[in-house]
Every structure is written in structure tokens, then in C-alpha cells.
Amino acid sequence: MSSVATATRTTEKRPEAPKGRSRIAKLLATQQLQIVFVLLVIYAIFAIMRPETFPTLYNLRGIVVNTSILAVLGAGMTLVIITGGIDLSVGSVLVFSGVIASKTMVAAGGQGWGVAALGVAVAGACGLGWGLLNGVLIAKLNIPPLIVTLGTLGMALGFSQIITKGVDLRDAPDVLVNNIGFGNVFGQVPWISVIALVVVIVVGVLLHRSRWGLHVFAIGSNAEAGRRVGLKVDRQLIGVYALAGLLAGFAGLLNLVFYQSTTIGGQTQTNLNVIAGVVIGGTSLFGGVGTIFGTIIGLFIPAVLQNGFVILGVQPFWQQVVVGAVLVAAVYADQTRRARALRGGRSTGFRFPFLNPHGTTPTKEQS
Amino acid sequence: MAPVLQARGITREYGHVTALAGADFEVEAGEVVALIGDNGAGKSTLTRILSGTDLPTSGEILFEGEPVTLGSPVAARELGIETVYQDLALAPHLSPVQNMYLGREVMKHGLLGRLGFMDKAAMRAGSRKAFDDLGATVRDLDGPVGGMSGGQRQGIAVARAAAWASKVIFLDEPTAALGVVQTRNVLDLIRRTAANGIAVVFISHSMPHVIDVSDRVQVMRQGRRVATFRTADTSMEQLVGAMTGALEGSTA
């Protein structure tokens, strides 16, 4: 969505189409700008209140590191939500993948790069497997995404606890822990964040520049229209959930080497935190609209708040209160403005697509 | 000359309901055929079958004289048959260009294309040309079509079908939700498309539009074609009479 055409239209008479152009594009741009602005304001407030501790490179590094794993999950979640779906299972899939990867690497033995590569492959495969299961159940059996991924959330976590008997595993090869878990590039930039950034950029290019990504938007916008022009909607949906699963699996490995723990009990809110970041970043729960960039900004807001409150000595639980309020406000803004931007849109009575089998909600196209 | 698309004795049953009871139909290259009939007469079912979204229970479909099976919309499109559906079937969040080429994107040459990158400039130029060819007023190629007026969206849907159809276009109630000026534009689009040698099938409840734009009128009632008229030789009374069953017969 570029803005090339704005300048050429001013002289034309527009009897029946008042400002039709790019309402959503503009809306998206404004929403993203607003959210960047919100992030900067929050950062500035903390920086003014604690100038000697908050705006330091060291502290910023901490915030970035804490956001890195969520960003990998958020990239996948953005795709899923653009299709009009949801994935509640990411936190559990992350834990499951970490558990299996840890077990496999211990069984294989050694601390070198060979076993590390094995761990990466196994973690990715686990995530891919859960993602494929999600996708097939959603696309082929037409079970609502909310229910499918609620189911796999429980299953993946349950299996993790069965395998470990509920006790966290702590084994990860030294090369991974020392390099990726704690290592830095150029002395200051953490490897884990560099890896997350690469993942996010690759997914961003895939979504915003490739045909495959265009079809993700098309399916979220009007699945039936896609079907009629010959898009393989089912296969595309399975691909999106599989990719989200793969990323969750990879995040599981990052999580394992960063915390040196499978964090079985620590991921119960991960899915909701990621969804909140995606939505705050301007991706619509109604499908068809969203950006990876917005998601990253949306994930930084809770991280900055958390960090800032800790430094201020405010109870960090306030972070949840503020993030909750920002989330509700973001969705409300999205909903009302989108209703006005799309002709025939309704301001009330929206039904969220992920509560229904895919593609069965009334399209916003009908006038 | 064989009709470009012909249906013989098409039946379609949904359980105990008979939607089509041996319907015949044909359309020739470069002509506009109006398909009319009361609600439930079988127009939409016949259109769905001829555009590949539904399969007949029995009967024969001939494309340029050869029997064909239209198992899917994709199969129909490969023969050069395009359909503009009543609900337009555009993706509201995508731009006119993206909708125009959805499912048929032009890829970049070489490695980038194989990696999934699209030739956006080519698609933009192609869309511009398609809209201009049909006189469709699409002012903005980059904004989401969901924000555009009904007339513009209709123009995009018709232009998309016209650009890809090499043989036949079905238009299901293309003027149903439009104002006077926009309706005029769509009817002009239809004439221009037919002038390019494409067969146009126009389904409508509006008798003035039917008489205005069509060369022939085929009337359906109770799942059959009951009459065919040359538009020049008929009148609104005659058409309504044939639709309601007050009048039987055919003049062409």
C-alpha cells in the first residue's frame, strides 16, 4: 500500500466517492504512527523520571532481549490473525519443543555445534508438527481456530508435563548457551536479538512482498473471493498455522538456551501477551489487515512498561493493568475506525472470525 | 456457427427439490444474451453450473461444439469463461490491482520470481489498461476496494472478468445495487465487452436494462427455458408474460 496516487487526484470531480482512497491504508499508517508515538512517549516519561538508570544502553539491551523471543512468536501470530484466525497454542508449543529438543540433545550427548544443530532441527520439527495439526483441523475439519488452538494448547502442555513429570529440564549444549543465550555481536548486541531480528525480517518480507503473503491478506479479507479465483485456501491456511508453529518451535529452542530451563510453568500467558502485542500493533482481529512492524512495536510497549515500573520501584503488577487498558483501547479504535472506513461496515455487532469455522463469517464486501 | 457455450437438457436436483428440469441455453460470440425469469426459475443455478461452481445432475454442456465438464471455477476460467457474482467476490482490503490479478499474479523474471516476488509494475499497467479499455472509473489503483463506491467496485469486478475472459462472461445482477449513472456505466461496459467478440450473459430482473443492452433474451420458468426472443422484436409485456407463464412461445 503505497501513497503514490494521492497527488494526482485533486482536480477530479468525485461526485459519489468521498475520499474513498486508502482509508484503510491511511488508517493503518496512522495507527502505526500513533503506536510508535505511544512507545516513544512512554520511553521518554521513564527516561525523564530516572535519567541515570532507565535510558542507558544496558537497560535498553535488557528490554530488547526480553522482547526477542516474543517477537519470533509475534511474527507467526501476525500471519495467523491476518487470516482472521488466532493461535492460543504458541506458549505450549514453545515449551513442548524445548522439552523434546532438550531430551534429544541430552540423548545425543556432547556440547558441540553438531548436537546444537540437531536441537534446532528437532525443536523446529516439533513446532511444525503442532502447527500442521492446528492448520489441518482448522482448514479441513472446519473447527473454529479458537477451539482448535485451545485444544492443542492443553495437549502440548500436557505432553510436556507427562514427559518431564512436571520438572523443568535444564540441559542445553554449552555452545548454544554461551553463544546464543548470552553471547553478543560487536560486544553489545545480543545474539538472541540478532537472530530474532533476522527471523522477523524474513517473515516480514514473506508477508509484505511475496505472492504467498498477498494471499494471506486475501484469505483474511474474503476467503470466498479467494476460492473463486482459484486460491487454494485450505492449503494456504495450513501453511500459515504451520509457519506459526515452526516459529514457536524455534522460539522454544531460544527460550531453552536463554533461560537454561524449559519454563513449563512460565508460559501460561505467553499466548495472550503475544496476541496483545499483535493487536496493539494495528493488526485487525477481523482479518485482512496487519503488519509485522506494528507487531514489534506492539510487543515493545509491555516490555518497556514492565522495565520502567521495576526501575521506578512501582509494583510491576501495574504493567498488566496498563497493558490491559491499552489493548482494549487499541481494539476499540480499530473497530470503530474500520467500520467507518469500509463502506457497509457496521459499528456494532461484529463477530470475530476466529470464533467461527474459517470463511463462514459474513464478508465485509456486501453492500 | 456453433454457439460458443451451449447447454442441453441440464437438470439439477438438490434432494427432492428440482432446481433445473431440462434447461437449454446457448450464447454466441459477441452477443449479449439476457437470462431472465422469476425468483426460483433456475437462472442462478444454471449460471453456477455453466461457470463451474456447481455440477449438473444430468445434461450436456458444449463449449465451441465440444462436450466439456466444468468441474470447478478454475476449469471454467481455463476455457475463458469468467463470472461476475452478485456479491462481486472482491477482497475488500486489497487494492484494485491486487484484486485484478488475485490468483493470477505476474511474477518477476528469474530467481526473484521463483522466490515468490511479483512484478507489481506490470500488474499495475495491465490493470490501468483493463480499466481504461472498459471505461471503468477507477481513480485509485492502490487503495483498498472496500473503501470505494458500489459503482467503482462493480467496474473493477466487471473489468476483471472482461480482462481475463476470452470467450464468455456471466454477470449475475450486475446493476442490482447501483444508482442511475453507475448503472449506465455498467451497461456500457457490457456492450463494449461484447463488441470485443466476447459472449456476455446478463442476468437481471430489470426489464428496461434487459431491453436496453441485450441482443437476445432467454426466459426461464420452473427450471426450463420457456422462450427465446430477439430483443429488437419483443416488448416488455411479452417478456413479463413469458416469465409469469401468461404467454407461451418463442419468436427466435
Instruction: Please tell me if residue A52 touches chain B, with a CB cutoff of 8 Å.
Output: no
A169: left (phi over 0), alpha (psi -120 to 50) or beta: beta
Of residues A166, A129, A130, A162, the one with CA closest to residue A148 = A130
For the beta sheet containing B216-221, the strands, ordered from the edge strand earlier in sequence to the opposite edge, are B81-84, B168-172, B199-203, B32-37, B216-221, B224-230
**Residue A1 confidence (pLDDT) above 60:** no
Return the residue of A nearest to B100 by Cα.
Answer: A229
Nearest to B155, CA basis, from B186, B129, B119, B118: B186
Confidence tier at B46 by pLDDT (50, 70, 90): very high
For residues B202 and B138, the model is more confident at: B202
Give me the residue from B85, B143, B181 closest to A20, CB to CB.
B143
Task: Provide the 8-state DSSP code for A19.
Answer: T
What digits encode the pLDDT tens for the residues B104-134?
Answer: 999 999 889 888 999 999 999 999 998 887 7
Confidence of residue A341 (pLDDT cuts 50, 70, 90): low
Which one has a higher pLDDT value, A186 or B211? B211
Name the residue of chain B whose CA is nearest to A344's CA.
B146
SS (H, E, C) A221-289: HCHHHHHHCCCCHHHHHHHHHHHHHHHHHHHHHHHHHHHCCCCHHHCCCHHHHHHHHHHHCCCCCCCCC
CA torsion angle for B43, B49, B54, B59 (degrees, to 10)? 110
Helix (H, G, I), strand (E, B) or coil at B95: coil
By Cβ distance, the residue of A4, A14, A228 closest to B73 is: A228
Taking Cα atoms as reference points, which of A365, A101, A124 lies closest to residue A250?
A124
Q: Which residue of A has its CA nearest to B51?
A: A228
Q: What is the pLDDT of residue A81?
A: 96
- Its sign, for the CA torsion A297, A299, A305, A311, is negative
Cβ-based neighbours of B145, under 8 Å, separated by 6 or more: B90, B91, B92, B94, B95, B96, B99, B152, B153, B156
Q: Which of A4, A211, A214 faces B142 most closely, judged by CB atoms?
A: A4
Chain B neighbors of A346, CB-CB under 8 A? none
In angstroms, the separation between the Cα of residue B59 and the nearest Cα of chain A is 24
E strands within chain A? 184-185, 189-190
Q: Are B95 and A21 in contact (CB under 8 A)?
A: no
pLDDT band, very low/low/confident/very high, at A359 (cuts 50, 70, 90): low
Report residue A340's pLDDT band, with 50, 70 and 90 as the boundaries.
Answer: low
Amino acid present at A26: K
Would you call A82 helix, strand, or coil by DSSP?
Answer: helix
The SS3 of residue B11 is: strand
Judge contact between B144 and A25, C-beta under 8 A: yes
pTM as predicted: 0.86
Nearest-angstrom CA–CA distance, B171 and B29: 15
Q: State whether B107 and A289 contact (CB < 8 Å).
A: no
Asked if A211 and B117 come within 8 Å (Cβ–Cβ), the reply is yes
Gap between the Cα atoms of A94 and B78, Å rounded? 44
| Max CA distance (Å), chain A | 74
pLDDT of residue B247: 65
Beta strand pairing call for A189-190 and B81-84: unpaired
Question: Rounded to whole angstroms, how far apart are CA atoms B178 and B78?
Answer: 30
The string of pLDDT tens digits covering residues A71-119 is 999 999 999 999 999 999 999 999 999 999 999 999 998 788 889 999 9
Predicted pLDDT at A132: 98
Q: How far is B147 from chain A (nearest CA, A)?
A: 5
> Residue A24's pLDDT band (boundaries 50, 70, 90)?
low
- Pick the most confident of A101-115, A152-166, B134-148, B234-248: A152-166
Does the pLDDT value for residue A11 go beyond 60? no
Residue in chain B lying closest to A232 (CA): B103
Yes or no, beta carbons of A231 and B142 under 8 Å apart: no
Contact: B87, A210; criterion CB under 8 Å: no
Among the partner-chain residues A16, A220, A226, the one whose CB lies closest to the CB of B149 is A16
* pLDDT for res A251: 97
User: Is B182 within 8 Å of A16 when comparing Cβ atoms?
Assistant: yes
Answer yes or no: is pLDDT of A336 > 80.
no
Q: Which of A11-20, A114-123, A231-240, A269-278 has the lowest mean pLDDT?
A: A11-20
Contacts of A111 (CB under 8 A, 6+ apart): A173, A174, A175
User: Are A367 and B142 a contacting pair at CB < 8 A?
Assistant: no
Q: Which of A150-159, A270-279, A357-366 has the lowest mean pLDDT?
A: A357-366
Can you tell me which residue has the cell 503473503? A213
- Residue in B116, B144, B147 closest to A211 by CB: B116
* CB-based contact A99:A169 (threshold 8 Å): yes
How far apart CA A80 and CA A239 sit, in angstroms, is 10
**Residue A201, all three cell numbers:** 525480517
Nearest Cα of chain B lies from the Cα of A244 at a distance, in angstroms, of 19
What residues of B are in contact with residue A1 (Cβ under 8 Å)? 95, 142-144
A222 touches chain B (CB under 8 A): yes
β-sheet bridge partners, residue B5: B27, B63
% residues pLDDT > 70 (chain B) = 96
A155 φ, ψ to 5°? -65, -45
H or E segment and range at residue A207? helix A191-209
The pLDDT of residue A349 is 41
CA A354, A360, A364, A365 dihedral sign is: positive
CA distances from B84 to A52, B54, B74, B161 (A): 65, 15, 14, 7
- Please give the pLDDT value at position A366: 37
Cross-chain Cβ contact B147/A5 below 8 Å: no
CB contact under 8 A, A343 and B149: yes
- A282 CB within 8 Å of a chain B CB: no
Note the ipTM here. Answer: 0.84
Residue of B nearest to A10 (CA): B139
- pLDDT, average across residues A329-344: 71
Is residue B77 predicted with pLDDT exceeding 60? Answer: yes
Residues 188..207 of A with a Cβ closer than 8 Å to B: which?
A: 206
Higher pLDDT, A11 or A307: A307
**Contact by Cβ (8 Å): A245, A75:** no
User: Which chain A positions have a beta carbon within 8 Å of B104's beta carbon?
Assistant: 229-230
> Which of B77, B82, B93, B117 would you mutate first to test chain A, the one with the most A CBs within 10 A?
B93
- Residues B213-228 have pLDDT tens digits of 999 999 999 888 988 9
Task: Quote the pLDDT of residue B53.
Answer: 85
Reported for A162-166, long-range contacts at CB under 8 A and 24+ positions apart, including other chains, are A163/A99, A163/A100, A163/A103, A164/A99, A164/A262, A164/A264, A166/A264
Put simply, the answer to whether A221 touches B73 (Cβ < 8 Å) is no
